[in-house]
Every structure is written in C-alpha cells, then in structure tokens.
Amino acid sequence: MRFVEQVSTSHARGSSARLRLGLGLTLAILLIEFAGGLLSHSLALLSDAGHVLTDVFALGLAWFAVEQSKRPADKRRSYGYHRVSILAALINALTLIVIVLAVTFEALRRLMAPEQVQGGIVIATALVGIAINAFVILTLRGGGDNLNLRAALLHVTGDVGASVGVIVAGAVILLTGWLPIDPLLSLAIAALIAYGAWQIMRETVNLLMEGTPAGIDLGAVTNEIRKTDQLTGMHDLHVWALSSDQTALSCHVVIDDVSLGDAEHVVRDLEGRLCERFAIGHTTIQVESCHPCGEIHHGAGEHNHPHQHVVLTSTSARPAPPRAAGSSGRPRSQTRKSNPSPGS
C-alpha cells in the first residue's frame, strides 16, 4: 500500500500537528510490539513491528518532506528540494526488502526448529496495538472526507487486521500449543510488507525515470493542448513529476505569426487550463511560429534545434515591412528575417 503518498498528501496539506500525533502514536505501537515480540519470542509480533517501523518511516518521511519542500530553490538546486522525498522513499523500500528477507529467513528456521512462544504476551501486545490504531482511525475520521484520507484509513484498518491475525495466532498457541502458526503468520505478514515495498519501489523508479505521473493521461494532455486557439502544431511534449504531488510539463507549440503579446496570452490560457484540469503547476512552453523544428528528431542524444543555423537578422533599423492585412496586435518594433536554410 502506498502509505508514503497517502500520508504525505493527506497530512501535508492538513495540520502538521496531526502528522506529529500520528508519528508519536505509531512510534508507541512500534516500541510496544518490538518489546512484546522479544519477550514472547513471537516472530509474528516482531514482523508486525517491522511493518509498523515502515509506517513510522513513512510518517517521518512525510513530515521531513514537508519541511524540505519549504526550503527555497537555490543556485545549486534549481528545482528546490521536493525530490528529497523520493530519495527517502527509495531508502524506505530498501529497508522493507531487508525486513522481508530477515523475516522469511527466521520463519523458515523456526518452521524447522519451533521455538516456544508466550501466547499471553502476544495477545496482550496485539490488543494494545489495536487500541492505539482504533484511536488513529477515530482521529482520521474527524479530519473530513477525501480520497487520501480514505486510503490512509484503509491502510490503518489493514494494520488492525494484521494485529487480529497475531491475536488469533497467540490464541492458537495458548489453546493447542501448535507453534508453526507463528512463523506461518510471519510469512503472511512478510508477503504484505513485500507488496508494499513493491508499490513504493515501482512509484519511486517511475519518478526517477521521469515517467508520466500515474494520475495523468498523456493523450488527454495532448488533446487539451490541441484545443488552444491559433495553434497549428505541437511537439516535444514531456510530463514528469518533481515529487508525488508536483507535476511539471514542457512542450513546443507552433502558433500563427501573431504579436508577442498575443502569443503570451495563448500561453497563459494554455497554462491555466493545464493547471486547472491536470494540476500541472510548473510549465515551460516554447512558442514557435516562423521556424518550427518540424524536421528535427527529438529524443535521447538529439538536439531540439537545427544545427545548420538559421540566421536571424534584426531589421529594426530598416523600415518595417508592410503588415499582413487583418493581423492583430501591436505594431512590431522588430521583425525577423532569415536566410533560407540550405537544402530547403
């Protein structure tokens, strides 16, 4: 489950006090489950503590990311520090994988050589965990109703489910003395942790690959751009995420030969629509009119400009050429003239 994203979006925009409260409560569950796991020799409890550790990590990460993204961009980091959260998420995923491997190894060892587990301590510890999580659920419920909050609720409910499983295992051990239930449940919890790690890893790698963010349909973005007034072409479109909630876009638009002021209005209108419809807040739009880079190949290792350089001559000193009838906008103080590029 993508707890990092859920928490960072639901809490970052809400009060940072709630984030700190969640962190404190989760830390309490972690310490109690870890101590209970050591005392009772229950691997199920220890592996659940391993999962809670990653929840603590996710909450701490969300808080850290909020603090980091408050730092302004500087000369060395022109994007600011949003991507600190991606680096931290990657570390989180690697930690999860280490926990999964450790739990799996220990579970297999215990299946071959069962270890005595104190069922009573296991049940008591898991009950405390459930009580704290129930409080967290009530707190989240009070925070309004949106998609991120519901996702966070779902995650905590899943945590309660894992604790209920631990209680069942403790009861089975108390009643029947069947010890393999403990490592078997640990393997199930490890599988859940592995699933969470896979989700975080996939998302993080997509961010690092500058992949199109999950919530954005590039086809829909293209259609929105094509709706632009006076647009005759569009190319070199890139959409990528700076962090899990910050999206950037760059593209070239080819528009009619209008005044600079009119071209700016076209770009502003496009920026507004991209922000409104796709929440893309950071756009870089290059306007082309006379020399669209139509024949140029875009991609890795390619330059998006012609190298048989088109000569742009300033003609401001000369009388301006007659303007095309019906063209709008202010008179141009400067016009551009080019020599035809070789071969065209």
Residues that bind Zn ion (CB under 5 A): 55, 159, 252, 275, 293, 303
Residue type at position 136: V
Q: Which is nearer to Zn ion, 111 or 296 (CB)?
A: 296
* Cα angle for residues 171, 98, 59 (degrees, 5° grid): 80
Q: Would you tell me how many other CB atoms lie within 10 Å of the CB of residue 226?
A: 11
Q: Which is nearer to Zn ion, 305 or 318 (CB)?
A: 305
Give the residue carrying structure tokens 């024949």.
Answer: 295
CA atoms of 186 and 155, how far apart (whole Å): 18
Q: Which residues pair with 284 in a beta bridge?
A: 250
The minimum distance between CB 159 and Zn ion, in angstroms, equals 4
Q: Would you tell me how many other CB atoms lie within 10 Å of the CB of residue 234?
A: 19
Q: Which is nearer to Zn ion, 142 or 301 (CB)?
A: 301
Residue type at position 304: N
Rounded to 5 degrees, what are φ and ψ at 338?
Answer: -130, 155
Residue 289's closest CA among 311, 256, 333, 330? 256
The minimum distance between CB 64 and Zn ion, in angstroms, equals 18
The minimum distance between CB 114 and Zn ion, in angstroms, equals 28
Q: Which is nearer to Zn ion, 13 or 303 (CB)?
A: 303
The minimum distance between CB 287 and Zn ion, in angstroms, equals 9
The minimum distance between CB 129 and Zn ion, in angstroms, equals 10
Q: Which two tokens stand for residue 276?
A: 């409104």
Q: Which is nearer to Zn ion, 159 or 179 (CB)?
A: 159
CA atoms of 138 and 206, how far apart (whole Å): 34
The minimum distance between CB 134 and Zn ion, in angstroms, equals 14
The minimum distance between CB 65 and Zn ion, in angstroms, equals 18
The minimum distance between CB 196 and Zn ion, in angstroms, equals 8
Question: Which residues are within 8 A (CB) of 314 and not within 5 positions of it... i.e. 6 or more apart?
Answer: 334, 336
Q: Which is nearer to Zn ion, 118 or 133 (CB)?
A: 133
Q: Which is nearer to Zn ion, 226 or 303 (CB)?
A: 303
Check residue 328 and report its DSSP letter.
-
What string of DSSP letters covers 64-109? HHHHHHTSPP-SS-TT-STTHHHHHHHHHHHHHHHHHHHHHHHHHH
The minimum distance between CB 257 and Zn ion, in angstroms, equals 15
Q: Which is nearer to Zn ion, 2 or 83 (CB)?
A: 2
What string of DSSP letters covers 296-311? PPPSTT--SS-SSPPP
What's the gap between Cα 30 and its chain centre?
Answer: 25
What string of DSSP letters covers 2-57? -HHHHHHHHHHHS-HHHHHHHHHHHHHHHHHHHHHHHHHT-HHHHHHHHHHHHHHH
Q: Which is nearer to Zn ion, 111 or 151 (CB)?
A: 151
